[in-house]
Amino acid sequence: MGSEMCIRDRHGQGQQPAPQQTLQWHPRQTCRQAGGPAQADELLMTDFAPLTLETPAEHPFAQFVRILGKGKRGARNLTREEAREAMGMLLDEKVEDAQLGAFLMLLRHKEESPEELAGFTEAVRERLKAPALNVDVDWPTYAGKKRHLPWYLLAAKCLAQNGVRILMHGGGAHTAGRLYTEQLLQGLQIPLCRNWQQVETAFEQGNLAFIPLGDWAPQLQRMIDLRNTLGLRSPIHSLARLLNPLNARCGLQSIFHPGYQGVHRDASGLLGDNVIVVKGDGGEVEINPDTLSHLYGTTGGQSWDEEWPALSAQRHVKPASLEPEHLKALWRGDVEDSYPQLALIATMALALRGLGHAREQAFELAQQYWDARDKSI
């Protein structure tokens, strides 16, 4: 039969030899029959990505990623001006998402420097469109509470009743298992403001206002929201605590991880701000009465330190669960509870210390304010 394969019918009779089948590879189809009409466009090189024959221009932001990530020997901190420029590009949305993630995580890995935080803060402040309002205390609240209720909210509320004007700001519930300021505003009758005009009105009515970060710095809120995408908190959590958007007389800052107090204090000093930084309970601005508290202060560009002893001889047992109604019960005077009363008095004293009162006077004033509070809620 030669080299051709014959097809036989059921009676075994030979038929015409079948044409040979050949396979031909093509990027659009695994195979096709040869001999058919060849489509010229199927064989053109236009089906493939073009070759890169010229070096593409480097993205302007790439330099900042390279500075932070150029190996153990080549990497370095950003200068204050570099940090200012880099944050400016982030805020102006001139950066690719991949660059944003790389930049934030490289900073997180090495830990941000005072110069970097100062430069970042300057870039944000340059772009803020906030009114000139008279504010006593800037009170960032970004951490949430896990072991104890947020007694600092009662401290702020009581101070406001006594003429201390306070701006609180936060970034929402970004970590599971924590209780955040935003979740408790309505129950505690703390005004939630969505723009600066509402903040001004709240000040006129009661000296206390809370405004979400996303309403005045949406780009920063987006970066904070990457927390659960990247798996780690980013330096934006630190930056938000330094911003003091209304240029309050005193900024209160709290950190969670030991070692960051000095970085925050030094960054604020570079900016010429008056601040007190503490390792507050859960990372919020709240004095833990069971432990010694170290105050890292800066006033007029000069750093100072102060240690406050523990207020309780024995450590309190943390509550089995966090019941927000307990906040209102304590405010109304329906219950007596040693830990929160010590915590909120000390936290009020912290704010008063930042406004220029000596420690002893600050505690005396705080107790007077608490005893004379309007208990309606």
Question: pLDDT tens digits for 325-363?
Answer: 999 999 999 999 999 999 999 999 999 999 999 999 999
Q: What is the pTM of this model?
A: 0.86
Tell whether 9 is covered by a domain.
Answer: no
Question: Is the domain of 216 the same as that of 365?
Answer: yes
Beta bridge partners of 179: 145
Instruction: For residue 338, give Cα distances in angstroms to 343, 359, 377.
Output: 9, 21, 21
Question: Is the domain of 116 the same as that of 149?
Answer: no
In this predicted structure, the answer to whether residue 4 has a pLDDT above a threshold of 50 is: no
Question: Is the domain of 156 the same as that of 236?
Answer: yes
Which pLDDT value is given to residue 48?
93
- Exposed / middle / buried, residue 329 (Cβ in 10 Å: 0-12, 13-18, 19+): middle
Tell whether 32 is covered by a domain.
Answer: no
- Residue 187's CATH number: 3.40.1030.10
Which pLDDT value is given to residue 72?
84
Question: Is the domain of 345 the same as that of 219?
Answer: yes
Which pLDDT value is given to residue 71?
87
Question: Is the domain of 220 the same as that of 361?
Answer: yes
Q: How many CA atoms lie within 13 A of 42 on its CB side?
A: 13
In this predicted structure, the answer to whether residue 6 has a pLDDT above a threshold of 50 is: no
Tell whether 25 is covered by a domain.
Answer: no
CA atoms of 250 and 165, how far apart (whole Å): 11
Region 11-20: what's the mean pLDDT?
Answer: 50
The DSSP line for 47-108 is GSPPP--SPPPPPTTHHHHHHHHSHHHH--PPPHHHHHHHHHHHHTT-S-HHHHHHHHHHHH
Reported confidence tier of residue 175, pLDDT bands at 50, 70, 90: confident
Tell whether 5 is covered by a domain.
Answer: no
CA atoms of 192 and 265, how far apart (whole Å): 29
Question: Is the domain of 119 the same as that of 149?
Answer: no
Integer distance in angstroms from the first to the last C-alpha of the chain? Answer: 104
For tokens 């064989």, what's the residue? 43
Domain termination site, one of 92, 108, 127: 127
Question: Is the domain of 194 the same as that of 262?
Answer: yes
Domain range for residue 207? 137-371
Backbone angles phi, psi at 306, to 5 degrees: -150, 140
Across all residues in the chain, what is the average pLDDT? 90
CA atoms of 129 and 342, how far apart (whole Å): 38
Which tokens is 93 given? Answer: 């949305």
User: What proportion of the chain, given as a percentage, has pLDDT over 70?
Assistant: 88
| Listed range (35-39, 164-168, 245-249, 297-301) with the worst mean pLDDT | 35-39
Tell whether 15 is covered by a domain.
Answer: no
As a dihedral over the C-alpha atoms of residue 295, residue 296, residue 300, residue 301, rounded to 10 degrees, the angle is 170
Domain termination site, one of 127, 145, 174: 127
Cβ contact 237:172 at 8 Å: no
Tell whether 33 is covered by a domain.
Answer: no
Region 232-248: what's the mean pLDDT?
Answer: 94
Tell whether 326 is covered by a domain.
Answer: yes
Q: How many domains does the chain have?
A: 2
Question: Is the domain of 217 the same as that of 327?
Answer: yes
Question: Is the domain of 92 the same as that of 154?
Answer: no
- The 10s digit of each residue's pLDDT in 91-106 is 999 999 999 999 999 9
For residue 167, the one-letter residue type is L
Region 204-214: what's the mean pLDDT?
Answer: 98
In this predicted structure, the answer to whether residue 139 has a pLDDT above a threshold of 70 is: yes
Question: Is the domain of 113 the same as that of 256?
Answer: no
Question: Is the domain of 114 the same as that of 158?
Answer: no
Domain termination site, one of 127, 149, 182: 127
Question: Is the domain of 184 the same as that of 99?
Answer: no
